[in-house]
Amino acid sequence: MEINSYRELKVWQLGMQLARDVYLLTRQFPKHEVYGLSSQLQRASVSVPANLAEGHAKDSTKDFLRHISIAQGSLAETETHLLLAESLDYLQSNCVAAILEKCAEERRMLSGLRRKLKAKLQP
């Protein structure tokens, strides 16, 4: 089955859910964090689906692989920011645990997509 749009990618769809969840969670942050941790967390989470979209739009598998790698880095950054927010008592542990589970699923999906694309490059 050919994927015609990045919007058809389940990994992109989950990335969008994660970004939305992060935006909703950061509403709970103290006001002094609007331009600090809250902003960093939002940008990192949005970078995951944004890089998938950009990479899919490129003309080469190599470019897509590079953007998947960037998305993986942004996902790790998102997780780190979430853990810091939890340790600062900005977020409840159960909220963080739920979103970290989604992050783990996203990481597995990104890794699977990366493996599949690398195999496509093999002669």
pLDDT digits (tens, 9 = 90+) for 66-97: 999 999 999 999 999 999 999 999 999 999 99
Q: Show me where the domains of the chain are located.
A: 6-121
Q: Which residues contact 23 (CB under 8 A, 6 or more apart)?
A: 42, 45
Burial class (CB in 10 A: 0-12, 13-18, 19+), 77: middle
pLDDT digits (tens, 9 = 90+) for 38-58: 999 999 999 999 999 999 999
Superfamily for 6-121? Answer: 23S rRNA-intervening sequence (1.20.1440.60)
Residue 16 tokens read as 């969008």
At 3 the pLDDT is 73
